[in-house]
Structure 1
Amino acid sequence: MRGVVSYKTLLIILVLFTATGTALASKPTAHGQLSSDLFTDSTKCAQCHAIIHNQWEGTMHYNAYEDPFYQKEFMVASNDTAGIVDIFCSRCHTPIGVVSGEIPPKDGSQLSDIARQGVQCDFCHVISDSNGTGNAPFVVSPGNTKWGPFDNSKSAYHGSEYLELYTNSEYCGMCHDVIHPINGLVIDDTYTVWKEGAYAKEGVMCQDCHMTPGITKFEANPGRAGSSAQKREHISTHDIVGGNAFVTKILGEEKYSKMAVERLEKAATLNIDAPEIAQRGDNVSVNISITNSGAGHKIPTGVSEIRQMWLAVSVKDRNGKEVYNTGQIDDSGTIVNARKVYNTILGDAQEQPTLSFWLAESVLEDNRIPPKGTVSEKHTFKIPADVAYPLALEATLKYRSAPQDTIDHLFGDNVYEVPVINMTRASSSIYENEGEAMATPSTPGIAALGSITLFLCAAYCISRRKI
């Protein structure tokens, strides 16, 4: 079996799991786990926290366990590793299932309804401590006390306690940093990149972008956390999205799919450095810069070995004749001739690229763009003799959650089409001579200003005649 792990490695994994520090409540089961009955169903939370519950319901946190892509990948990973990663993966996708001992078995046949609720209300708010970041080192204390970001909350239903952890990125970093449990290879560095970057130095937390109405910056959300709670200047929103417009769409969660697209559209900017004048027969070089202007982590992030971000560049003449084209998607869903695909390339034991992070032992390449970082691509093409000027150059930064052939392999051909998102665009024009270039579309702005001036002069003269 591919990737089967030794018994010695199994013991290492078990030690790692034991060290994660899950707190036992006062009513453990006979096997030492927490009973899932100790956790409150999210529908009860909705009775007082209807707005927040409505925001959360339908997100990827809500669907963390039911996510069909995760389910497929999880089964492959389990088979490849003889079940070693079952608890490791489940710890973030069904945390109640793990702390209650309902996982394993891997097929979820022993999971309670509440464990299937993914990253749900009561689980998040009974986290009473953390043993660090990465691989979900949360400490949970289910019961009547709920923890949160306010130091003066009062509730008639449950106790409320302030915990600074809820106001910091370290809360998110518990699951949004993933380290290979066998060899220590960093698989997901979302939190670490933030911590080492400019946003952390400026005091911008994950919550400031992902739990406010603003997309790339903090925006206050006045309101109440519950129906009888006091009004506050800001209540964190719980419709937390990243860039996953694929799974949300196939689950019918259109609201969150659209929000993911909107977030992707705000993540980056493009700049084109191209000559304004070029002649037929010339070899033209164009530099296109991509800046990560809106994300506090690298783009893309998460399971970045399967994420794909790339530039599609086209040049057409006035009649639509194609002069240059690269980075388009063919009929099979393959990216054609892109200069670079921006993601992480993981290597297996033979140092061959792999999309299976559980089999990874090295990072062969990291082509992602860091926060506030810029990368450039050079594109060169020859202008044919029969073109009609001007030439229109367009660059589009594209993104998709996974390669189409990966999804076809997991689900079958033609079951799901992975949406390709246009993150941002930039365009430029190339002219044959300087006279054409001076009469660019920007010129009418000057002409319009002249027309307005003439109109005002005429109106002034007419008014003078009436005096």
Structure 2
Amino acid sequence: MKLFDKRKDVLVLNSNVEINSYSLRTWVMATLVFMFIISNVSFPSVVSASEDASMMSDKKAAKMTSSSEAPAGEVSEGDDAAVDASEEHKSLFIESRYPSATTCATCHPKHFKEWSVSQHAYAQLSPVYLSFSSFTNEITSGTNGDFCFRCHSPVGANMGESPFISNLDRHPSSREGITCIACHRLTKVYNKRSGRLAILKGDLLTPVYGPSGSEELDRVLDNTDEFKVVTEKGKPGRKIHTSVVKFSAISSSTFCAQCHDVTLLNGFRLEEAFSEYRMSPAAARGVTCQDCHMGKVQGVPSGYEYGPAAVIGGKETKSRKLTNHFFAGPDYPVIHPGLFPFNVEAQELATMREWLEFDHEAGWGTDAFEDKVAEDMKFPSRWESVDDRYDAREVLNVQFEQLKFARGKRLEVLKNGYKMGKTVVVQDDNDGLRFKVKVENLTDGHNAPTGFAAERLVFIQVTVTDSTGKAIFKSGDLDPNGDVRDHESTYVHNGEVPLDDQLFDLRGRILVTNSRGGEREVVIPVPYPVTTIPFLRPTTRSLILTGESPVERINRRSLAPLDHRWAEWKVDGDLLTGKGPYKAKIDFIAGMAPANLVGAIKGQGFDYAMSAQEVAENVAAGYEVLYSEEVTFKADGVAKVAEMSFLDSIYGFFK
């Protein structure tokens, strides 16, 4: 069954255009409960303003987008008007409490450039995350609240923003995900808190927290004429924070645990990267998360670069240890390059909505396009000028270079985490082929994959062909939706393609309890309700003995640190065509998420007016082949069938 139809499935983010089975069931049950209450409960005639609407209805109202609003990414007539002065004042007021990373970029260009294309920067912008969070709240009747939001946008959570609104309507600092102040304005460590971090509020003059203290900053402040900086409000000049508080915890692995060990209210352990690390050989050796993920080489403890931490008024500060703020991992952006990576020039040139109107794929702003463009071709008002289109293309060329850099670093960390060995041939004759490869976790710091391991698609694709190029065996191939042929493929579920019973993959499986015993695989970690309105509540019992929620768990398939597993395939003799020699192509592939995840949450719509098919195609386009090998087999015939006499066959029939 096809999950995506590009012509029909463009929905406003969190729109109520499409009501899925969860919504309908919840609505029916809520209606029955409401009717019962009306019939059996008497209410006072006067209701205070604070009691007029429940917290749940407030969340629902904030979550659902009015059908009269323009879809995310589309410009309504009102968008062309100047921004109201009160909104500008509000934005400036928020900036004075939560400075943007673009403000920090002035003196920290190296750190900003690394961060600007990182997974931390992309955390809130991701349309997959935003729709996933919104869908989870819908099927838990809103009780998941801001659980996801507070790690994906600590600033937005501190500001009290709704977790569900489009990123196009957020404050710039909130859109920046794990931005500078999300770490450097924390005054203490919250351990395995799953977010809910209190950021120190204040303008650029407010102290920041870092690993080194204030020694070099004090030297700068003692020479304000040389560096041309000021530390007083209202005084003209380049403002700078007044002090750097030494915060050793920011260099510890426990600091990362605040968001990289995710346990839901009911005890469900969704992500356990930090817990895995605590039990790892790396932790025993004293290697920290930062040693592997903020050093010279992504994924291995490789030491640190040295250089100036800041460039102030064109003058470099003294050389010191520098940590890399790229934090490579398996995720990658699927949105318009004008929106990400973060780029000060891009933000100055156009708004997010205007960038969404710039058709970079058509070649706008290139000689090849502009030399042939028809005179009567209509462009959006922001891009009517050919000069503006060329300016936009120059900005995008910088963006593409940044994305190329990010892809290289992503491959670096993945190859430092996984290894596929040489193929070992077990059987090679006309009765069939058998072969296997060894897959290893090279890191000693955590499992591979780690984090949201039930979302990480890591698999091996095998194709065996005869001498004519005809494929006689496949495993790890994708269905028309872009899914491997496992139990979560809708094509397998509907019997349109066979189950891949020899599939090798490392993605965990989320299992939830059924209504009457047993478990089932799901993509979203919420038990499937039949007769009740689902909601998330704190566990009522200690989890010391069970270690997990009684209603959901993850069947982990990850490799433990330095562990390995053999992947093996068998091609039966009756599949051989007699046109040997046969060749096997074996590809080890890593992807961000399976297509069926996009299909499961598409009813929420996607930010930036993206269709589900666009999102799924962009997700699949990021799949990376980490290792590839071709093997030639000696077998060149078909399976031999022993000749039997007529009497032998009769004897065999009655035996």
Write the distance in 2 (CA, Å) between the matches of 1:92 and 1:349: 28
Write the distance in 1 (CA, Å) between the matches of 2:336 and 2:287: 30
Contact 1:86 1:103 in 2 (8 A): no
Instruction: Report how far residue 231 of structure 1 moved.
Output: 0.1
Write the distance in 1 (CA, Å) between the matches of 2:166 and 2:249: 33
Question: Structure 1 residues 104 and 36, CA, compared in 2 at 3 Å: closer, same or farther?
Answer: farther
Is 1:231–2:231 an aligned residue pair?
Answer: no
Is 1:415–2:614 an aligned residue pair?
Answer: yes
Aligned-partner SS, 1:127:
coil
Instruction: Report how far residue 179 of structure 1 moved.
Output: 0.3
Highest CA radius of gyration, 1 or 2? 2
Which residue number in structure 1 is paired with residue 134 of structure 2?
Answer: 75
Is 1:213–2:405 an aligned residue pair?
Answer: no
Aligned residues: 404
Write the distance in 2 (CA, Å) between the matches of 1:403 and 1:187: 17
Is 1:320–2:469 an aligned residue pair?
Answer: yes
Instruction: Report how far residue 66 of structure 1 moved.
Output: 1.9
Which residue number in structure 2 is paired with residue 112 of structure 1?
Answer: 171
Which residue number in structure 2 is paired with residue 378 of structure 1?
Answer: 568
Write the distance in 1 (CA, Å) between the matches of 2:163 and 2:482: 36
The structure showing larger relative contact order (alpha-carbon pairs under 8 Å, at least 6 residues apart) is 2
State which of 235, 247, 254 in structure 2 corresponds to 1:163.
Answer: 247
State which of 333, 348, 359 in structure 1 corresponds to 2:512.
Answer: 348
Aligned-partner SS, 1:304:
coil
Write the distance in 2 (CA, Å) between the matches of 1:197 and 1:318: 47
Write the distance in 2 (CA, Å) between the matches of 1:201 and 1:341: 29
Question: Structure 1 residues 322 and 392, CA, compared in 2 at 3 Å: closer, same or farther?
Answer: same
Question: Structure 1 residues 397 and 105, CA, compared in 2 at 3 Å: closer, same or farther?
Answer: closer
What is the root-mean-square deviation in Å for CA atoms of aligned residues? Answer: 3.1
Instruction: Report how far residue 273 of structure 1 moved.
Output: 5.0
* 1:423 aligned partner, one-letter code: L
Instruction: Report how far residue 207 of structure 1 moved.
Output: 1.4
* 2:570 aligned partner, one-letter code: T
Q: Greater CA deviation, 108-117 or 56-65?
A: 108-117
Aligned-partner SS, 1:328:
coil
CA distances 1:428-449 after superposition (whole Å, capped 9, x unpaired): 443369xxxxxxxxxxxxxxxx
CA distances 1:331-361 after superposition (whole Å, capped 9, x unpaired): 3323142523312211234232222125583
Which residue number in structure 1 is paired with residue 592 of structure 2?
Answer: 401
Instruction: Report how far residue 188 of structure 1 moved.
Output: 0.6
Aligned-partner SS, 2:304:
coil
* 1:235 aligned partner, one-letter code: L
Instruction: Report how far residue 186 of structure 1 moved.
Output: 0.5
Matches of residues 438-449 of structure 1 in structure 2 within 5 Å? none
Aligned-partner SS, 1:175:
helix
Contact 2:454 2:508 in 1 (8 A): yes
TM-score, length-normalised on structure 2? 0.56
Which residue number in structure 1 is paired with residue 559 of structure 2?
Answer: 369
Overall identity of the aligned pairs, in % = 20
State which of 44, 64, 78 in structure 1 corresponds to 2:123.
Answer: 64
Instruction: Report how far residue 214 of structure 1 moved.
Output: 0.3
Write the distance in 2 (CA, Å) between the matches of 1:385 and 1:329: 24
Is 1:145–2:207 an aligned residue pair?
Answer: yes
TM-score, length-normalised on structure 1? 0.77
Which residue number in structure 1 is paired with residue 633 of structure 2?
Answer: 430
Q: Greater CA deviation, 192-201 or 322-331?
A: 322-331
Q: Greater CA deviation, 171-180 or 147-156?
A: 147-156
* 1:39 aligned partner, one-letter code: Y
State which of 260, 269, 275 in structure 1 corresponds to 2:410.
Answer: 260
* 1:261 aligned partner, one-letter code: L
Instruction: Report how far residue 137 of structure 1 moved.
Output: 5.2
Write the distance in 2 (CA, Å) between the matches of 1:413 and 1:40: 34
Contact 2:295 2:323 in 1 (8 A): yes
Question: Structure 1 residues 153 and 211, CA, compared in 2 at 3 Å: closer, same or farther?
Answer: farther
Write the distance in 2 (CA, Å) between the matches of 1:131 and 1:215: 26
Instruction: Report how far residue 112 of structure 1 moved.
Output: 3.2
Is 1:154–2:216 an aligned residue pair?
Answer: yes
CA distances 1:207-258 after superposition (whole Å, capped 9, x unpaired): 12221230232243121111143202x3001122211135478765423244
* 1:65 aligned partner, one-letter code: Q
* 1:58 aligned partner, one-letter code: V
Is 1:283–2:432 an aligned residue pair?
Answer: yes
Write the distance in 2 (CA, Å) between the matches of 1:346 and 1:277: 35
Which residue number in structure 2 is paired with residue 329 of structure 1?
Answer: 478
Aligned-partner SS, 1:62:
helix
State which of 188, 196, 201 in structure 1 corresponds to 2:279.
Answer: 196
* 1:245 aligned partner, one-letter code: Y
* 2:628 aligned partner, one-letter code: R
Contact 2:454 2:556 in 1 (8 A): no
Write the distance in 2 (CA, Å) between the matches of 1:231 and 1:186: 42
Write the distance in 2 (CA, Å) between the matches of 1:225 and 1:358: 45
* 1:170 aligned partner, one-letter code: T
Which residue number in structure 2 is paired with residue 102 of structure 1?
Answer: 161
Higher helix content, 1 or 2: 2
State which of 134, 140, 149 in structure 2 corresponds to 1:90.
Answer: 149
Aligned-partner SS, 1:223:
strand
Q: Greater CA deviation, 402-411 or 68-77?
A: 402-411
Is 1:47–2:47 an aligned residue pair?
Answer: no
Contact 1:267 1:423 in 2 (8 A): no
Contact 1:344 1:363 in 2 (8 A): no
Is 1:269–2:419 an aligned residue pair?
Answer: yes
Contact 1:60 1:248 in 2 (8 A): no
Give structure 1 stretches of 5+ with no counterpart.
12-33, 434-467
